[in-house]
Amino acid sequence: MTVNERIRQARQVLNMTQTAFSKAIYVSSGYTAEIENGHRVANDRIIHLICLTFGVSEIWLKTGEGEMFQTSPLERKERILSLFDELNPRFQEYALTVLDQLLKLQNGQKKPE
């Protein structure tokens, strides 16, 4: 399996469309499609963005060796919930506000409210 095929596989495991995946790493969906279809080489910058954004193992992405994720999506969710539960209720509200703002930024809204 090639790097390009592993990128597609990771996106599919994350249950993301090419559009959502592309938006998250700040490239066009056409660019992602070209990578996944083998018409474009995934450069080190794209590989690094994918790994940083989605927790994909760089070794796995480049070589196919080891686990796909540094930590699984489920492990990340469990960690978030555990950390959230440890927060004082006042800080929990703040954390929710920050997450809402991050989501708005990610989805392309100009200014978080």
Going residue by residue through the chain, which has 113 residues, state the pLDDT in tens, using 9 for 90 and above: 999 999 999 999 999 999 999 999 999 999 999 999 999 999 999 999 999 999 999 999 999 999 999 877 788 888 889 999 999 999 999 999 999 998 888 877 655 45
Q: How many domains does the chain have?
A: 2
CATH number of the domain at 22, please: 1.10.260.40
Give the span between the Cα atoms of 101 and 86, in whole angstroms. Answer: 21
Residue 59 and residue 65 in contact, taking contact as beta carbons nearer than 8 Å: yes
The verdict on 23 and 42 lying in the same domain is yes
Give the span between the Cα atoms of 9 and 11, in whole angstroms. Answer: 5
Q: Is residue 112 part of a domain?
A: no
Q: Which two tokens stand for residue 1?
A: 């399996």
